[in-house]
Chains A and B, each alone.
Chain A
């Protein structure tokens, strides 16, 4: 991928370097590439920088120190060493090729060429535009830390490091994208994470051949997990550093992509998508309660509608005690169509709400509730019960912590409704079995997707069903194949 072109060494003639910079980088044409000429001990010195990504005050400070060379030094032959010494910054490197120079310059570092020296000095004066850590909108908690990852990969590694000050925490960085040259960081605990998994991820990332990954994490994910036609999310995202650190300690491998605040957690199973940081901020019993309610919501979001549809299609299936279920009047449209229309209608509303500014969306919610809900029943389009069940399953979708999972479940629900409408009991039973079997055969980075339910692992399953208190939770989950299974330090 990279290194295909021959690397061009830096010339000791300043003119050659200048013309190279002019042709390759467009100094003088691109207005964001800046250029400053200095004269040090009667030798010409060039300084290149990228206007948007540098800290000007730092550059001014460096130029001051460089110009002072003229007042205090006289040995022209040692100019290179003197310059390096006078660059008062902790991150100064010497490079020998123009390719490195261009890469670094376009990342926002400044480059200094000195006439007669076949090396360039690179100083890290980057200051990227960005926001400071904020609580992520999608993963709010009542209590707990309010910081979240940002679009800046350096800040993100720092936020992680704040929580795991372990010398064995590794942040390995690679660049991906022939044109975008995006930084991707792979984080893991060296003595815990599965070596095979780390190598697999590194290989997959190094083999990405693309000109740019502007959609950052999502693009990387698609190269990583070979999604195909499977709608289910094969990796988990988080914007919370505490969640990320917790997974690191469990032996997971994180992937952070520059320009995205979402970390990719691997390996992931279905049940990673149904947990939420909130549960770990409550007492174990309360956390378990919340989790069960959430599971009920998720189950209902998938299976409630097809089951109810079956009962209305064939009321003889209903047990005696549940005879009250089923619409009193059928309405003018078949129930299946009513369900599908209502479900798609809710999807319209959800999509519209995302794009609508907040003040308008309140009004939109009102229209939705009053007009569409009530009047559709009054004019005889929908029966009241359809609205009830569609609403319950929609709320179930919203209770799913992972947005990606809720969308995938929505697709599964619609397919189940259709197959139930066609094949009735057999349709629902076979659809249910297929849903489970397809999820079971799904593998994300060699991890069975329904673990620990299928294949069954009772210890891990207990962790899923109950929110176990942290002191009792002594071993790392076996699914990450930790090299060291015990969480407590050895005696």
Chain B
């Protein structure tokens, strides 16, 4: 019997490519953890918010610190995170476990708060930040790094493992 291809149950799901997975992981990771960054600034855990990186340095208007400004910043960070994810995919995807990616997250924190700090005139030098802000942002970067890094390396290593495994099981059948 000919199957009706327009019915949803007759369409096959496509397998995901690693790079597609990387891009989506980066996007979701950026959106999710910058949202947590927004929450932590909303509850005054930290003095910096997503908007204080993305919008405030060059746009000091009323709305850029409000919800709209935060929302735009979250989306922008999500898109920037795709690049971060691709960098991780290219350089570190073969590293096993969650600790390399946690270190990656902390390294990102240093890059943003120490090396890139001169770009953001509204953010004080890392030694002048209060301790709550430092701890909160380090934790968020650590989780962000873990989320992106561990997901990418897990997907990569899992696919590799399955390939070897399938190859073996085909070989053992013959």
List chain A positions with a Cβ less than 8 A from chain B: 195-196, 307, 311, 316-319, 425-426, 428-430, 432-433, 436-437, 440-441, 448, 454-459, 471-472, 474-475, 478, 481, 485-486, 488, 491
Contact = CB atoms under 8 A, between A and B. Distances in A.
Given A441-B98, A486-B12, 18 more contacts: A195-B169, A319-B42, A426-B136, A429-B139, A430-B139, A432-B139, A437-B98, A440-B150, A454-B146, A456-B25, A458-B21, A459-B16, A471-B9, A472-B8, A472-B9, A474-B12, A481-B162, A488-B12
Given A454-B150, A455-B155, A429 B45 contact: yes
A317 B25 contact: no
Nearest to A441: B98
A472 B131 CA distance: 49
11 contacts: A195-B169, A319-B43, A433-B139, A437-B143, A454-B147, A455-B155, A456-B28, A456-B147, A457-B155, A472-B9, A474-B12
A319 B41 CA distance: 9
B135 interface: yes
B45 A425 contact: yes
Contacts of B43: 307, 311, 317-319
Contact of A491 (B3, B9, B45): B3
Q: Please name the 4 residue pairs, one residue from A and one from B, whose CB atoms are nearest each other, closest first.
A: A455-B154, A471-B9, A456-B151, A455-B151
A195 B131 CA distance: 51
Nearest to B161: A481
A433 B9 CA distance: 41
Contact of A437 (B13, B102, B165): B102
B48 interface: no
Given A319-B43, A429-B40, A437-B102, A475 B135 contact: no
B44 interface: yes
A436 B135 contact: no
A426 B132 contact: yes
Nearest to A434: B139
Interface residues of B, number: 37
A318 B42 CA distance: 8
Contact of B151 (A433, A454, A478): A454
B146 A426 contact: no
Contact of A436 (B8, B132, B143): B143
B8 A471 contact: yes
Nearest to B158: A478
Contacts of B40: 429
A330 to B, nearest CB: 21
B29 interface: yes
Contacts of A448: 154
Contacts of A472: 8-9
B9 A458 contact: no
Given A440-B98, A455-B150, A456-B151, A317 B44 contact: yes
Contacts of A488: 9, 12
Nearest to B157: A455
B142 interface: yes
A428 B39 CA distance: 13
Interface in B74-106: 98, 102
Contacts of A457: 21, 151, 155
A26 B168 CA distance: 52
B136 A429 contact: yes
Interface in B24-58: 24-25, 28-29, 40, 42-45
A457 to B, nearest CB: 7
B150 A458 contact: no
Nearest to A448: B154
A481 B9 CA distance: 23
A448 B24 CA distance: 20
Nearest to A424: B132
B44 A458 contact: no
A422 B122 CA distance: 32
A316 B44 contact: yes
A457 B24 CA distance: 9
Nearest to B137: A429
